[in-house]
Structures are given as structure tokens and as C-alpha cells.
Amino acid sequence: MSWLSNVRNKIASITKRETPDNLWHKCKKCEAMVFLKEFEDNMHICPKCEHHGRIGPMTRFAQIMDENSWKLIPWAKVQEDPLKFKDQKKYADRLKDARAKTGEQDALINVVGTIETLPCVVGVQDFAFMGGSMGLAVGQAFVDGARRALKDQCPYIIFTAAGGARMQEGILSLMQMPKTTVAISMLREAGLPFIVVLTDPTTGGVTASYAMLGDVQISEPGALIGFAGQRVIENTIREKLPEGFQTAEYLKDHGMIDLVVHRKELRATLAQVIGYLMAWKDAA
């Protein structure tokens, strides 16, 4: 114990704050302060400005899936830290930290269950886990999600959120682009829908592979979606970026997305879309 904490502990007037820090939520966009409880009850959407906050896989499943309908698809083992990568910190330690922080194995989690009674496999990327980045584990989870959809003859729905490929896995992370694309081709050949829901943020190698290959492309409002990073673009063209550049609405205007859907409508919209894309199977 340092001399400072020794002294502090002896001062009776410094008591711990009664209210925990997370009683309030400050909106990242409009900076309004709202009760955390109110924010959470509002599906992590700011009640003042409708900004959609980032949410992790478990919250997403709870919002999207029929209650008690879903169960996790277990992780397949992959090579861990294949390059024994180390920058200022060991990749192995970064992984350990991310696992401790999120309680998850890696950045993509799949469940199998129902949405408005319609069977589906749903994968959600976790931006809190090393920026949602795609390495061997994410690539394998994606393939496993698609395979489960093939087995169950149901759609595969992916909620994307990622900074891109996981640099710490070098070329092997880049190879997840073709690898995940193979899985999509398998769904396509089986006549099964692959639906993409882009969430904030989705960039880099993830955007340039499965995130842009959906049969129907949906996005949450305001999500940042792009290939190249904004700083990289600014440095290349040496000019200011246009207003609203790389937002969901911008991508919709430029023909890259079918629907921008409010989080509160998402579950119903997905059920509708599945209804159309699976109608041929019901008829058969």
C-alpha cells in the first residue's frame, strides 16, 4: 500500500460514493443523461435522440429470439495464436483479457432457435471482444453457423460488428474472407437465405466479405459501415469527407442496403423477410 492510500484511508470524510457510476447512461451521440435502467428497457436506444447503442450477443439474442427458444451452438476448437504474435503486448494476453472482459470465447456467437416461431440460426459479432475482429475463431464460427443452418434447413442470420480482420493472426485472418464466402455459397446452393444485419460499426475485411453478401441486407440506423477507415481515406484524398459518409443511410442511398430498420422493428422485419425467402420450402 502506498503512503497516499495509507493517508487517504485514515481520513474519515472520504467515503465511497453511494451511487454506482453506471446508474446513469450518457448518450454517445446527443450526450443526454438518462437512467441506465430506462436506456436498457428501451433496447439500448437513447430515448432522447434514438441513437442505437452497441449491444453484445446475449442482449441481442434476448431482443431478437423467441423467449426460451434459443440455445448456444458450441465453439469449435481452432488454432490459437497461430503466429505467436506479439506487439506491445502478447496476443495471447489480449485474448485472455478479452475473454475475462466479455465472458466469451471469441467475437462471434451463434444460437439456434426461433424468431416469431420461425426456425433460424443467428450469429452475433461482439464488438467488445477485440473490436469484433475476424480471425480463425470467428471464421470457423461463421462456417459452423452456416453448416447448422444447412443441417436444420433454415436461414442463417448474421449481425455484423467488427473493425475488420484480426491483424494478430496475419494472413490467416485474411483467409477468413474466402473461407466465410464458401459457407455462403453452400447456403445459396441449398436455397437457404443468408440475411445480414449490419450494426455499428462494420468495416474492413468483414464488410468486404460476408457482410456484403446477404440475400437481403438490413442495417440499424446510424451504423458506421465501410471498407476503408475514414482517417485512411482523408489521408489519401486530402479533403473533408461528405456529411453522413459511411452511415447506414448513406449506404442505403448508394444502393448497398435494402432496409434501414429501427431496433424495435427488427424482430418483426426479420420474421417477415424469412417468411418470403422460406415460402418456397413451405410450398414444396
Partner 1 sequence: MTSYLDFEKPIAALESRIIELRETADEGSLDIESEITKLQSKSSKMLRDTYTRLTPWQKTQVARHPERPHFKDFVKGLFDEFIPLGGDRNFGDDQAILGGFAKLGDRRLVVIGHEKGDDTESRLRHNFGMGKPEGYRKAIRLMDLADRFALPVVTLVDTSGAFPGVSAEERGQAEAIARSTEKCLSLGVPMIAVVVGEGGSGGAVALAAAERVLMLEHAVYSVISPEGCASILWRTGDKADVAADAMQITAQNLAKLGVIDRIIEEPIGGAHRDSNLAIATLGKAIAEELDELVQLERSALRSARRDKFLKIGSL
Query: Which one among 110, 125, 209, 219 touches partner 1, defined by CB under 8 A?
Result: 209
Q: Which is nearer to partner 1, 116 or 258 (CB)?
A: 258
Strands 71-72 and 108-115, by their bridges, are: antiparallel
- Residue 190 in the binding site for partner 1 (CB under 8 A): no
> What track of x and - describes contact with partner 1 for positions 53 through 72 (by CB under 8 A)?
--------------------
Shortest separation between residue 255's beta carbon and partner 1, angstroms: 7
Alpha helices, DSSP H only, in 128-284? 136-152, 170-174, 176-189, 230-237, 248-253, 263-277, 279-283
Are 49 and 27 in contact by the 8 Å Cβ rule? The answer is yes
Q: Which is nearer to partner 1, 221 or 229 (CB)?
A: 229
Are 158 and 139 in contact by the 8 Å Cβ rule? The answer is no
Q: Which is nearer to partner 1, 56 or 139 (CB)?
A: 139
Which DSSP category does 74 fall into? P
Neighbours of 43 (CB within 10 A): 17
Shortest separation between residue 257's beta carbon and partner 1, angstroms: 10
Distance CA 280, CA 129 (A): 38
- Residue 269 in the binding site for partner 1 (CB under 8 A): no
81: left (phi over 0), alpha (psi -120 to 50) or beta: left
Cis peptide bond N-terminal to 178, omega within 30:
no
- Residue 204 in the binding site for partner 1 (CB under 8 A): yes
Q: Which is nearer to partner 1, 24 or 85 (CB)?
A: 85
138 φ, ψ (degrees, to nearest 5): -65, -45
Distance CA 280, CA 260 (A): 26
156 φ, ψ (degrees, to nearest 5): -110, 125
| Footprint on residues 134-163 left by partner 1 (CB under 8 A) | 136, 139-140, 143
Q: Which is nearer to partner 1, 109 or 130 (CB)?
A: 130
Query: Which one among 109, 121, 212, 218 touches partner 1, defined by CB under 8 A?
Result: 212
- Residue 174 in the binding site for partner 1 (CB under 8 A): yes
Q: Which residues bind partner 1 (CB under 8 A)?
A: 76-79, 82-83, 85-88, 136, 139-140, 143, 165, 167-179, 181-185, 204-205, 207-213, 226-229, 232-233, 236-237, 241-242, 245-246, 254-256
